[in-house]
Structures are given as structure tokens and as C-alpha cells.
Amino acid sequence: MINFEYTRVSSVKAAIDVLAKNPTGSFIAGGTNLIDLMKRGVTAPSRLIDINNLPLKQIEETKTGLSIGALVINSDVEENDIVQKKYPLLAMALKAGASAQLRNMATVGGNIMQRTRCTYFHDTAMPCNKREPGSGCGALQGYNRMHAIFGASDKCIAVHPSDMCIALAALDATVHISGPKGERKILFTNFHRLPGDTPGKDNTLLKGEIIAGVTIPENNFIKNIYYLKIRDRASYAFALVSVAAALELSGETVKNVRLAMGGVAHKPWRLTEAEKFLTGKRVSKETFIQAAEIAMKGAKAYGHNNFKLKMAPAAIVEALMKAAG
Amino acid sequence: MDKKFSTNALHFIDRVDGVQKVTGAAKYSAEYDFPGLVYAVLTGSTIAKGSIVDMDTKAAENAPGVLAVVTHLNSPELPGYKKTAIQANVPETKRGYHVFTDNIIRFNGQPVALTIANTYERAVYAASLVKTKYKEEEHQTDLDAAIKNGKALEGNPYKDYVRGEPDAWKNSEVKIEAEYRMPLEVHNPMEIHAITVVWEGEEKVTVYEKTQTLKTTQQNIMRAFGLKEENVRVITQFVGGAFGSAFNTWPHSMAALIGARKIGKPLKLMLARSQMFTLVGYRPQAIQKINMGATKDGKLTGITHEATAMTSSYQEFTEGIVNASRSLYTCPNVTTRYKVYPLDLSQPTWMRGPGETTGAYALESAMDELADALHLDPIEFRLRNYAETDLENNKPYSSKFLKEAYQLGAEKIKWQDRNPEPRSMKEGDWMIGYGTGTGTFGAWRGDAKVAARLLPDGTLILQSGVTDMGPGTATAMTKLASDIFGISPRNIKFEMGDSNLPPGPFQGGSGTTSSLGTAVHNVCVNMKKKLADLIKDNSIFHTEIVHTVKPEDLLFEDGYMILASDHSKKISYGDALKDAGMKQLELLESSDGNPMNGYSAFSYAVHFVKLMVHAATGVIKIARVVSAVDAGKIVNESTAESQIIGAVVGGIGMSLMEEGVVDHRYGRWVNNNFADYHVAVQADVPHIEVLFVNKPDPILNPIGSKGMGEVGLVGFAAAVSNAVYHATGKRIRELPITPDKLI
């Protein structure tokens, strides 16, 4: 780890100002990801701007839904009464993430901003276009068991590791951003990006901006939801494949549905075509299997992750079955 | 656990060092501090094979707080590392690797520089500034490719074994052929390897080293630096798990010694977790073929076990992979073959149940496959081939209570209630499977010395130069001494962890309790005789019929010598000492090696596993484990149980998640951290029930104990694999059994 400077700020404006003066600096909140990256030499911010004192720690019900500050820790979101009652998919996804210790440190904003767990990204002696543009993708022909089957490029096949984000993508959340030019918001599904030719950029956050929080519109996905996470051990493991499934049923008929997957793409992967197919259909395993087939269109595996072509559709069906109850 | 224990009122005592451990008072090798202490960090190579062409250490040397950067260019030539003519005659694969002695790169992550600074953080930073230019050569880290293109090592350890007719399985009525693959598994005890070095001048040193063997460590340092024995002191008060990783004096420890002597300051070196994957050994990858045949009524007629494993390019490593196949079952025709290929990876080493664990995975999986082919219950099949004598060595067993272990375990898990048909048992979305596997590991007894001192206040101090990597050696020895010497465990102090003490055994191979326990037994028995001698004519014991007391007239209980014929006549050990005008009573006793004359000795474990496989996702949950163990007489029940539980937890990792992955293009690790290299977490571990047969071995040692640290892991992975087959009807012949293999 190299030397760095440290500033603690207590307002969003101050945070933005300090970052503007230190363009090679980095915000730090829980630090559960950033510190690891700094230790391994993957990133070396000149200044850490500690934002833990910013007033972004509220979970509030609004007229249109729920607002969660960027600095609320994952475990507080998961245990929040409103979240548990009205947004149980989010609670379930959070509980599937990381370990209790990490959830007690990690913030909502940090979770959204976490970098990929791709091993080639993490080892500075290996090639990685995300870490060092032009050095090549070590994973493409390497050990890519954890890697993408959707939306990858020949420059990068890394996946976004979050569980929380999969639920937020499914729930049509919005990311609220503050920056030097004021505030803006962006649909959660548009926040993260695909690697394309510039895998160095994980998301659409602009230089100098900070995430202030997320909002989730009100919904009726309360009874028939499920977050399925398939992983190599029962806790503290990233998803091989995960599925966030939310159904609004009218009798046996699907009135409204949301599906998103984790562990399969550079961003939370919304299954919009499958959602369209399912809407208005009667609940049945056969229908879910057809939806999974639709969802898998365009999937491509890279060797060690070939199993995901079988596991992903099985997971979609299973998550929908569980959600349907 | 079942309370089927004999004789003593107390079946166990709590860990004598438990409070120290949970309060942080226990000191591990990285926790010693000295005035002026400096910190050293190793920089590892980024290629797997080749040589160093050039090194630039200027930036590192000029970094804040840096005292020195040691490389092969400026490291002193140690007397023990001199390239002698003899060395030249040793084949390359046996020469070993001595840190900083040449510019040759043998594995990725090999230490190329040691950076010493006045804080740990500064050393870490400066170590990252060391620039090394390499000349790369083509490397081979892939065992499959080496088998295809390379050459296996030759020599004595690789002799084929044939009993009866070679490859007789071919002519059997019922037979199976199967290949089993076990990946490389790394050592990753909770405590990272560390060493603190304090030189006094250039000829005398004290090291606080993570080791399982004080004596060997002392000898290794003596030899390398050409020092006198009395000038090398090794202290290891506590070890936070080792499992075989702390037998060698690894290159990082030698580097620390070199660096500390160079700068003349006390120095500490802790490995990073990622360095634990390359610098302290691992369980070598193995590919095993088992061909096995039996008569229709389930009598084994032939076993052929062929194992292919790996070692480093510079140090041969072999282990007992094929051993159990020769003697666990009574089979007239057994052939074993063992090949080892050198790879451009770091040195493998002993790892819990070394060899036997790898071998039993294959053997016990194959036994299940053959039982299935015979339509026989797997336990019944094993009983039909139960070995009453060791056919490999033509010797009787010192004791063998494996049948009892089968029975205990099978009853506990209700084995007879399982539907033997694969894929027949279900609970909701989950397929249920039961599986079993048997483990065996050699039992033995080695040299050990124990010094005893009885004080007038009744305290017994026992001393031996042994280390405890976690099983609770001091606790077991205290319990043993308490039982034999007849005093409260509270009045016993067991001192260890210092090479200045009388040499104890190394800790490993499941031999500590047998070896050290024998010495403790002897010292306690003889101490009682000495005590009795003190009061031979003591009037306290005078009665009408007793005039001169002999030891056999006395009971030794609760710190008192009591006249057996009249319990009202007694004297405390302390008073006996005081009456005799003695300040203390001293004694030194030994355990003298293996007394096995004519016997074979083994411990046994039978594992029963109930698990659940999720039909849609392939996720496996281990629901229940019952492990029944024949380890002779159990010295201390609670710590013994913990050892088996710990082994089973390791076994869960081995069977379901552990896999060291190297990217062969670079010969470099890709999962060298705890997020990517998975070991079992709490949520993966069910209730583990441990049962002990607890019958004494009459031959091995006077305490009747066999070993148990290793055997608890042996056979477990097969039990899981067999249970997966029972649950799903799928044979997964490659560990770990991850969900992707079942989908």
C-alpha cells in the first residue's frame, strides 16, 4: 500500500469540493472493497475522502416509494421494518450477500460501487484490461469459472459481484447522484454498464460525482418474491448464478413480474424479454421453463463457466417456482 | 457424545491454556516485541521458471524507514548452503531450494528480495518497489500435461508393490474401474506463518518460530549458519493450527534469519495470506486409478491402485497414497503403483492425514462402487473383507476395533434405515443421501523426554520441548499425569515450547500423545516410587502388620499417599517431601521409540454422512456427520472430540469446496485468498457427532492410546462422495463436488 492523505468531510458539498481538488482521490465509506484493492496495489488513491459523516443515513418512506441513503449499512437495510414488509426482495438479496461482518460495514453506495472479483483484475502481475487498459483479458482464455455469460466483450468478461444490486435492478430503483453540476438521477439498470471496449469504467458515474442514495418505487412484490443465490458454500461466497424474482399474481395469473440475474454479466442483468413473456401467463413450471429459455438467448460461455448455461436457466425456473409459492 | 468411557471419574479436563487463548494472553510467533524491532517483507517472483537477469533495489532502499534489502546479490554465503562437490552429484530434483543462494527461479512467488524497514507498512510499501528483470523459460505446472509430455521421477519410493497375482482384478467375477481426481489443497491455518528473530552477535540466536518441531528447527538453523547447538534457541509457546505446514524451516524463516543477522536488530517476518499458498507447502494434486474385483458373494479378489501425484522441481516429496490399499482389507492380490512428476511449483508437504487421505478418497469411493455393483450394503461389504491381520507386513495388529467403530457409527446414524437404492430418498426439493468411508492411519511411538519436579506445596512441574499446534497437548498430558500421579490437574504445570527443555517429540503424524504420553506415564510412575521410597519407614503408616511400606501397599490419590489397608493412614506428597527435608524431587524420563516388535499398529475412523442435494440447483448441504473412531484409549475426551470435529470440518472443505487453482499459462495462482479459495464456513458445518470405541491398545504404549489427529480426516471425502451418489445416482469422481458438477 502506498502513502495516501486522508480527509474527513461532513457535507455532500464538501465531499464534492475535496474530490474536485483531488481528482486522484477516492471516497471511502465502509472500505470493505477499497482497502483490499489498495492492499493488493490494484488501486492507489492519493487521498481518501472519508464520507462516513455525511447525512446520508436515512431510510424513509416517501409518497412514491422508499428512499435509502447511500451511507446506510447493508445490515440496517436488511433489518429495516419497512424494507422487510414492503420490499422483502431487497432484504432477501442483502442477506445473501457477503458475511454478517461485511454487511455490518458495507454501505449501500459502496455496494453499488464495488469492483469485480475477477482474479485477473486483483493480481497486478496478471493482464487485465479493466485495471490496465490494453494489457489484455486474462480471464478470456484463463480460469473463468465465475465469469460472464451475457453482455461481455473480448476485452472483458468480468461480472459485477453484488447481490443487493440485483434486487435493486429488479425493483426498478433509481440512483440519486450529486456532483459539481448539481443533482441528477439515473435508472438503476442504466447505472452500471457493459464492458465494451472500455472495461475500465464499471458504471456511468461521472468524474467528481457522488451517490447520494437510491429510491425504489412502490410496488406489490411482497408475497411472491425470491432471491436465489447458488454458490460454492453456504455463506461468504459470490454467486455462481443468482436470480431475483418478483411476481404479482392475480389468482394463478402473472399480473406483473420482475426478473434479474447476478453472476452472469458486467452489470445486474434484467431479463426483460422473459418478463414480457410471463406477463399475463398462468403460473406453471412449463411456462417458467419457456421464460428461462427466452432469458438465455444470446448467452455465451468461455470454458470454465460453461456450466452456467445450464445452471442459469435452472436457477430462473427455481426462483420463479419459489416466488410463486 | 456417548459417555462410554472407562475407569476415571473425570473424562476430561478443560484446556489448561483455554483462558490464555481466549483472552489474548497466549503469544504466537508474530506477537513478540523487542526494543528496536524491525519488520521484513518478502517480494515474490512473477514468473514460474527462469532466472533473474537484473535487480534494481534502489527505490526500495531509498524508501522511508528502510534499513536493508537482501537479495541473492548481497546475501552472505551460509556454511550450510555452500555448493559442495557432493551437492553437484545430487539430482536436481533432490537438491532443495535455499533462499537467496542463486538467481534461479523455480516457482511463481519465489522470494527474490527481503525488504527490512522500521515499520511493517513501510516494509510492505518498499518491497513493492523492488524491480526484477527475468529471463523466462518454459514452465510446466499442469500435472495432466506433465503426464503426457514429461517424465516421472525414478528411484526407491516408487517401487511397485505386488502381493499375490499382479492385476488380479481383471479375472474377478465382479469388477469396477474408476479414476479419481483430487486437486491441490493448500495449507491455510488461521495463524499465518511468522518468525521473530533475535541475534546476540553473529553466533547466537533466539527465534520465535511457528513450528511443529523445535528440535528439527534448531538443527536446521544450526546447520545452515554453522552454529553450536547451545547457541540456537527456538521458542514456540503457541501455534494457531499447522496441520503439517510447520515441519519445515521454510525459506521465509531462513530469509528472516539472514536479514536479522545482516542488520543486527531483532526482526519480525509475517507472511501475507497470499504467500501462504506458495511458501509453506500444500497437499499435492493426485490422479488415482483403482481397479477392483470381487467374487459374487463379495470377497475381494484383486485391488490395483495406481496413483500419480506431483512434487516440485527441486525437492522430491512422496507420501503414503497407496498404503491403505495394501492392508485395510483382506485381499490376496494387491498391486500398487505410484508415480510422481516434478512441476514448476513450490514444494508440497505433509498435510493432515498425508497420503492416506488422498488414497482413502479413491479406495473408499471404489469400495462403494464395488459394493453397489455387488448389490451389497457398503458396510456389509467391508465386513466381509475385514482384515484380521496385516497382510502387507504379515503381522498381527496391536489392536483393532474397527468392527466396533462400524457398529457404533451405523447404529447412531441409523444406517439400516436408509433405502439402499440411489436417488430414492427425498425431503421436499432435496434428494437425501447417506454415505460412509473408512480411514486408517499408522499408530506409532517415538522418542520423547520429560522432566518432572515435585515441589513441597504439592505442585508437579512437567517439562518437555514439544509444541502444541492446537490439539491440546498440555491439557492431555496434564490429564494423564493427574490420573497416574494422583493429583488434581490444578496442581500440575506442563511447560513446553522451548528447545532448552528436554527434547519432546515433534508434533505430527498422530504420535505426540503416544510418545510424550509414554514419557509422562513413566515419569509419574517412577515419581510415585521415589515418593514411596521417601516414607519407607515413616511411622505414619505403622500398624500392627505394616512395618516397612512398599509402593504397592500405597494408593496415590488426590495428592496423598494412602495406606491401601487402612485409608486413615495417609500423608500428602508435599509433607512427605518436607519430612524428608527435600526442597524438590526431580526426575527425567524417556519414551524410547517404537516397541512394536512384531505388531502393526493403526488407528481407524469410520465416517457416516447424511447430506442433501438440491434437485434443481445442485447445491449440497451436509445434514449430519457421525464419526466413530478407534484411537485406543482416549486420554482427554473433550479435546479428543475437538480433534475429530476439526478434521471433519476440514473434510467438508476438501469434499465440497477446496481447490487450489493455478493458471498454467502463467504458472501462477488465481485463487490465493480466502474469498476465492473456499474453506467451510460455520453455515456449512452441521452437528458432528463423535464416538470413540475407547479400548486401550495393549502393545503400543503403557497408556493404551493410539493416534487420532490424522485419521479423523482420512476417508471422509469418500463418505461425502458416496452419499452424493446415494442421493443423486451420480458418481462425481473429482473433488471438490461443487454445484456445477451436479447440475
- Whether residue B740 and residue A41 make contact (CB cut-off 8 A), yes or no, is no
Q: Which of A33, A51, A69 delimits the end of a domain?
A: A51
pLDDT over 80 (residue B335): yes
Which residues, at least 6 apart from A94, have a Cβ–Cβ distance to it below 8 Å? Answer: A74, A75, A77, A78, A103, A163, A164, A167
Contact B447, B454 (CB under 8 A): no
**Cell triple for B444:** 506409532
Pick from B46, B617, B676: which is nearest to A125 by CB? B46
Q: Which of A129, A152, A133, A136 is nearest to A263 (CA)?
A: A152
- Whether residue B681 and residue A233 make contact (CB cut-off 8 A), yes or no, is yes
**Cell triple for A242:** 443468482
Provide the β-strand partners of residue B336: B161, B305
Neighbour count for residue A67 (Cβ, 10 Å): 17
CATH number at residue A9: 3.30.43.10
Residues spanned by the domain of B366: 282-444+597-741
- Rounded to whole angstroms, the Cα distance separating B737 from B740 reads 8
- Rounded to whole angstroms, the Cα distance separating A312 from B429 reads 18
- Whether residue A123 and residue B618 make contact (CB cut-off 8 A), yes or no, is no
Which residues, at least 6 apart from B24, have a Cβ–Cβ distance to it below 8 Å? Answer: none
SS3 annotation, B259-298 = HHHHHCCCEEEECCHHHHHHHCCEECCEEEEEEEEECCCC
Residues spanned by the domain of A36: 5-51
Residues of A in contact with B738 (CB under 8 A): 232
A154 in any annotated domain: no
Chain segment A176-188, per-residue pLDDT in tens: 999 999 999 999 9
- Whether residue B617 and residue A311 make contact (CB cut-off 8 A), yes or no, is yes
B496 in any annotated domain: yes
Please tell me the total count of domains within chain B: 3
- Rounded to whole angstroms, the Cα distance separating A289 from A201 reads 35
For residues B52 and B127, state if they share a domain. yes
User: Residues B180-189: what's their mean pLDDT?
Assistant: 97
ipTM: 0.96
Environment class of residue B486 by beta-carbon count within 10 Å: exposed (0-12), middle (13-18) or buried (19+)?
buried
For residues B363 and B496, state if they share a domain. no
B152 in any annotated domain: no
B636 in any annotated domain: yes
For residues B513 and B631, state if they share a domain. no
Per-residue model confidence (pLDDT) at position B546: 63
Per-residue model confidence (pLDDT) at position B592: 82
Contact B708, B642 (CB under 8 A): no
Q: Is A199 left (phi over 0), alpha (psi -120 to 50) or beta?
A: alpha
Q: Which of B220, B254, B279 delimits the end of a domain?
A: B279
The average confidence (pLDDT) of chain B is 95
For residues B451 and B580, state if they share a domain. yes
For residues B550 and B608, state if they share a domain. no
User: Residues B230-256: what's their mean pLDDT?
Assistant: 97
A318 in any annotated domain: yes
CATH number at residue B310: 3.30.365.10
CB burial of A15-44 (b: ≥16 within 10 Å; e: otherwise) equals bbebbeebeebbbbbbbbbbebbbebbbee
Pick from A143, A317, A318: which is nearest to B663 by CB? A143
CATH number at residue B83: 3.90.1170.50
Chain segment B666-713, per-residue pLDDT in tens: 999 999 999 999 999 999 999 999 999 999 999 999 999 999 999 999
Distances in Å between the Cα of B197 and the Cα atoms of B24, B78, B340, B353 are 22, 17, 36, 31
In the numeric block, the cell 458486467 is attached to A266
Q: Which of B536, B564, B591 delimits the end of a domain?
A: B591
- Whether residue A314 and residue B616 make contact (CB cut-off 8 A), yes or no, is yes
A133 in any annotated domain: no
SS3 annotation, B560-583 = EEEECCCCCCEEEHHHHHHHCCCC
Interface of A with B in 127-186 (CB under 8 A): 138, 141-143, 145
Q: How many CB pairs under 8 A join A and B?
A: 86
Residues of B in contact with A311 (CB under 8 A): 617-618, 739-740, 743
Contact A175, A202 (CB under 8 A): no
Task: Name the pairing type of β-strands B602-614 and B620-630.
Answer: antiparallel
Distances in Å between the Cα of B185 and the Cα atoms of A92, B114, B278, B304, B494 are 33, 27, 11, 25, 34
- The strand order across the sheet containing B430-442 reads B425-427, B430-442, B602-614, B620-630, B688-692
Please tell me the total count of domains within chain A: 2
Residues of B in contact with A145 (CB under 8 A): 740
B403 in any annotated domain: yes
Instruction: Indicate the helix (H) or strand (E) that contains B407.
Output: helix B402-413
For residues B57 and B205, state if they share a domain. yes
pLDDT over 80 (residue B88): no
CATH number at residue A275: 3.30.390.50
A196 in any annotated domain: no
Q: Which of B591, B610, B634 delimits the end of a domain?
A: B591
For residues B299 and B432, state if they share a domain. yes
A230 in any annotated domain: yes
Question: Which 3 state secondary structure label does DSSP give A214?
Answer: strand
- Whether residue B668 and residue A117 make contact (CB cut-off 8 A), yes or no, is no
Residues of B in contact with A314 (CB under 8 A): 616-617, 743
pLDDT over 90 (residue B551): no
Per-residue model confidence (pLDDT) at position B83: 73
Residues of A in contact with B678 (CB under 8 A): 232-233, 237
Residues of B in contact with A117 (CB under 8 A): 675-676
Per-residue model confidence (pLDDT) at position A2: 78
- Whether residue B681 and residue A1 make contact (CB cut-off 8 A), yes or no, is no
B143 in any annotated domain: no
A134 in any annotated domain: no
Interface of A with B in 287-316 (CB under 8 A): 307-308, 310-311, 314-315
CB hemisphere CA count around A120 (13 angstroms): 28
Chain segment A242-271, per-residue pLDDT in tens: 999 999 999 999 999 999 999 999 999 999
For residues B611 and B717, state if they share a domain. yes
CB burial of A258-294 (b: ≥16 within 10 Å; e: otherwise) equals bbbbbbbbbbbbbbeebbebbeebebeeebbebbbeb
pLDDT category at B7 given cuts 50, 70, 90 is very low
For residues B659 and B698, state if they share a domain. yes
For residues B286 and B354, state if they share a domain. yes
Per-residue model confidence (pLDDT) at position B1: 37
For residues B360 and B482, state if they share a domain. no
Q: Which residues of B touch chain A, with CB atoms under 8 Å apart? A: 46, 121, 124-125, 128, 616-619, 621, 656-657, 661, 663, 665-666, 668, 670-671, 673, 675-676, 678, 680-684, 736, 738-741, 743
Q: Which residues of chain A have pLDDT under 70?
A: 1
Provide the β-strand partners of residue A7: A49
For residues B287 and B225, state if they share a domain. no
- Whether residue A233 and residue B619 make contact (CB cut-off 8 A), yes or no, is no
Residues of A in contact with B126 (CB under 8 A): none
pLDDT category at B452 given cuts 50, 70, 90 is very high
Pick from B656, B671, B681: which is nearest to A119 by CB? B671
Chain segment A194-223, per-residue pLDDT in tens: 999 999 999 999 999 999 999 999 999 999
Distance from CA of A256 to the nearest CA of B (A): 25
Chain segment B453-478, per-residue pLDDT in tens: 999 999 999 999 999 999 999 999 99
Per-residue model confidence (pLDDT) at position B543: 66
A161 in any annotated domain: no
B303 in any annotated domain: yes
In the numeric block, the cell 520465535 is attached to B208
pLDDT over 70 (residue B2): no
Contact B374, B296 (CB under 8 A): yes
